[in-house]
Amino acid sequence: MSDIDLQRRNFLKTSVGAAAVAIAPGVLLFDMAHGNPQALSGKVRWGMLIDTAQCKPGCNDCVTACNTENGLSGETKSTDSQWIRKIEIKDISSGRELSLPMMCQHCENPPCVDVCPTTASFKRADGIVLVDKHRCIGCRYCMMACPYKARSFVHEPLSDQNPDVPRGKGTVESCTLCVHRIDQGGQPACAEACANKAILFGDLNNPESEIAQKVRTVATTQVRADLRLNPGVRYQGL
Amino acid sequence: MKLLFSLLLCLCLPSAWADAAPKLDIGKGGQCVEDAQWMRKNHMHVLKHQRDEAVRKGVREEKHSLKNCIECHASTKDDSVIARADSFCVACHKYEAVKLDCFECHSGKRKSAWLQRNAK
């Protein structure tokens, strides 16, 4: 190797080292200033696994718990908000009947986010799909885009909301996966309320978590998997 | 002389009225973020910044949250910042003629009071 090549290599080495020394504290300081320890990380993906064998027909405990937690009226008129509903389905050829809860599926590629003109509909880093009501103009495109009919529009003025769950007229809303509870280390109200433990909540990305282990070992289905939205809510025995 | 006196009165009275600051029910009160004058001028920016961080990034910083404001400033009588004309938020916003739309969605009550009422 010629002398000039070696000199060039040494020069490059030292200059890269010097650049790293010069930039590193800046990067660190930037991280300290902006990387709030409480900020969400993309490492987590919250999800649910619903065991339809454990979900009892006629039982409405998850729906009631959701209504109480989020201050919904519990009415089921077309103008009332429903964040979670129980569905009874029947396979006509075999006569097999199933009961299951249906709510926002917290898709990885949510169509409601695609269509929102004000970016009010958004997906948090941890996979929870939410409506930022500060930006929502109530156009209801997202309600039309959602294949699960998961979203509702608030038609009437509201009062006496849960201080943790702001809701108001003129905005679209849906299951938040009880984001206010999750951020405090809790789990959604519906999962907590289910007496048969049919709703398993957890981090799909953590291989150690109960939900990830179960998803790995038993057959689970995503509703309308053909749309390739990759919902965070999965069903077992569907 | 009479005319001059009434003219002076006319000039002085409105300015005397204008200086009368709104009387608010400050609740428990106290300073937890910045001093009162700074807060009068900047509370909206703090709240706006905090709300975007909380909703979109999940940074739920207790100190600058609307809930925390309400916790101290809700009236000790009715646990609310909006219930009466002299409630903490209402009195000032009325005086300044600035529309207050936080509470179309957010609760103006203390969480503890809300829990108490809804536990029944």
Spatial CB neighbours of B63, under 8 Å, sequence gap ≥ 6:
B32, B33
DSSP class per residue in B45-96: HHHHHHHHHHHHH----STTSHHHHHHHHS-TTTSBSSSSTTBHHHHHHHHH
Give the pLDDT score at A235: 97
Give the pLDDT score at A177: 96
Q: Which residues pair with A129 in a beta bridge?
A: A123
Spatial CB neighbours of A33, under 8 Å, sequence gap ≥ 6:
none
How do beta strands A220-221 and A199-203 pair? unpaired
pLDDT at residue B18 greater than cutoff 60 = no
- pLDDT, tens only, A51-81: 999 999 999 999 999 999 999 999 999 999 9
Give the pLDDT score at A1: 52
Give the pLDDT score at B113: 87
Q: Rounded to a whole number, what is the distance in Å from the CA of A14 to chain B's nearest CA?
A: 39
> Does A130 sit within 8 Å of B55, measured CB to CB?
yes
- Report helix, strand and coil shares of chain A as percent, to nearest 5: 30, 20, 50
| pTM as predicted | 0.80
Q: What is the ipTM of this complex?
A: 0.79
Tell which of B104, B116, B120 to mutate to test the A interface (max A CBs under 10 Å).
B104
Q: Which chain B residue shows the shortest CA-CA distance from A129? A: B56
Query: For residues A210 and A125, what is the distance between their CA atoms, to the nearest angstrom?
Result: 21
Give the pLDDT score at A12: 73
**pLDDT confidence bin for B114, thresholds 50/70/90:** confident
Of A39, A160, A163, the CB nearest to B59: A39
Of A125, A163, A167, the CB nearest to B114: A163
- pLDDT, tens only, A120-162: 999 999 999 999 999 999 999 999 999 999 999 999 999 889 9
